[in-house]
Amino acid sequence: MQQNGSSSSSGSDGCSRERQALSFSPLPAATTRVRRFIQERRTLPLPRVMVVFSAAGDTEKPGDAMSSSDSTEDDLRKPASPTPNLALSKPLRSSLNTQEQEFPEVISLNVGGTYFTTRLSTLRRYEDTMLAAMFSGRHYIPRDADGRYFIDRDGAYFGDILNFLREGELPHQDRVRAVHREAQYYSIGPLLDRLEDIQPLTGEKVRQAFLDLLPYYKDNLERIVEIAKLRAMQKKARFAKLKICVYKEEMPITPYERPLFNSLRFERSDSEAKLFEHHCEVDVSFGPWEAVADVYDLLHCIVSDLAERGIAAEQQCIGVCDKHLINHYYCKRPIYEFKITWW
């Protein structure tokens, strides 16, 4: 019994010794490496800048000594947060972007090879213009070999633009159209308004108000040019002839019936009006319209617009359509022969 008791007590003492041995066992090798690493890092010089990238999805597994030691090493490698540096760099970068270019008081310009000299305030006279925007400092302007600011535009009428910006001077009448185009390019609204109130642009506005009654006018003008060109090329001729109908009246009636049917177009129904609809045997037809301007005014527009394009045109009346419509009604629309000369 004593032997059993002694054996049991000796067994319990062995268990307690094992527990003490387990509780006071040395740290794992991984933890020891970490401590040694920390001690070595204290003596070694640390780099000033070090960037370590780590995946956001990586997580530590509990109980993994190696992974915990690696994460500890990563934490030690990471430098201080760079957020203050980024915050300081943002205003620096924005200040570089918003820095405006400075110009001298006297500006030398090269406009398509023509040289001009003017004051900076002259170019900035009106804020909503292209020149004011160019020389506001927000845009880059190229320079030529001599340092002049270069504008890739014909400079033939740029002097007229500067004269208006300087003292409101308007160009001579024969230069108004060309200067108006330049004012449109440079978006100089006050100059456009002034030019449109003088000849020949004022007359052009009145003329255009009449042509707006014929929305097909430009298309018909193009058709005249195309037909005349094809016929001249086919016949190998210097000129080509076309038949063009130009009429103002809405309902075709003879001159003898006009006093008796002044209200003819207002009293007819739609079905009766269709009986008078027809197409004259001509190349191009203009009409009808309701305005004070008559047939001769429209003929003048056609000839002058062709001349504007460098095309010489002559016209003469060669008769009327004279096509029978219904009962005693005949088409009396005038027919004009246009002669287009190419050279």
Query: The domain spanning residue 187 has which CATH number?
Result: 3.30.710.10
Domain interval for residue 178: 106-198
Residue 337 lies in a domain: yes
- Kindly give the interhelix angle for 295-308 and 217-235, rounded to the nearest 10 degrees: 60
Write down the pTM of the prediction: 0.58
Say if 239 falls within a structural domain: yes
Indicate if 177 and 217 belong to the same structural domain.
no
Residue 125 in any domain: the answer is: yes
192 and 155 part of one domain:
yes
- Cα(97)–Cα(61) distance, integer angstroms: 48
Q: What is the DSSP letter of 101?
A: P
* In a shared domain, residues 174 and 252: no
Q: How many domains does the chain have?
A: 2
Of 154, 170, 198, the domain-final residue:
198
Q: What pLDDT is recorded for position 122?
A: 97
Give the pLDDT confidence score for residue 1 in this predicted structure. Answer: 43
* Rounded alpha-carbon distances, angstroms, from residue 241 to 6, 223, 230: 143, 13, 11
Cβ(171)–Cβ(182) under 8 Å? Answer: no
Question: Do residue 155 and residue 216 come from a single domain?
Answer: no
Contact 52, 74 (CB under 8 A): yes
In a domain, 143, yes or no: yes
| Same domain (yes/no): 330, 224 | yes
Alpha helices in the chain (DSSP H): 2-23, 29-43, 65-77, 83-97, 120-123, 130-134, 158-167, 176-185, 189-195, 201-211, 217-235, 264-267, 270-274, 295-308
Annotate 210-242 with b (16+ C-beta within 10 A) or e (fewer): beeebeebeeebeebeebbeebbeeeeeebbeb
- Do 153 and 231 belong to one domain? no
Q: How far is CA 159 from CA 108, 197, 318, in A?
A: 13, 21, 50
Q: Are 233 and 318 found together in one domain?
A: yes
Helix axes 201-211, 295-308, angle to 10 degrees: 120
My answer on whether 218 and 191 are in the same domain is: no
- Measure the CA–CA gap between 204 and 202, rounded to whole angstroms: 5
Let me know whether 243 and 173 are in one domain: no
Give pLDDT tens digits along the chain (343 positions): 444 444 444 444 554 444 444 444 454 555 565 566 555 555 445 555 555 555 544 444 445 544 444 544 555 454 444 444 434 344 443 444 446 678 999 999 999 999 999 999 999 999 999 999 999 999 999 999 999 999 999 999 999 999 999 999 999 999 999 999 999 999 999 999 999 999 999 999 999 999 999 999 999 999 999 999 999 999 999 999 999 999 987 554 554 445 544 444 445 566 655 656 677 889 999 998 988 999 999 999 999 999 999 999 999 999 988 777 777 677 888 999 999 999 9
Residue 22's pLDDT is what? 45
- Residue 3 in any domain: the answer is no
Examine the domain organization and report whether 229 and 329 are in the same domain.
yes
152 found inside a domain: yes
- Residue 123 maps to a domain: yes
Is residue 222 domain-shared with residue 323, that is, in the same domain?
yes
Quick one: 175 and 128 in the same domain?
yes
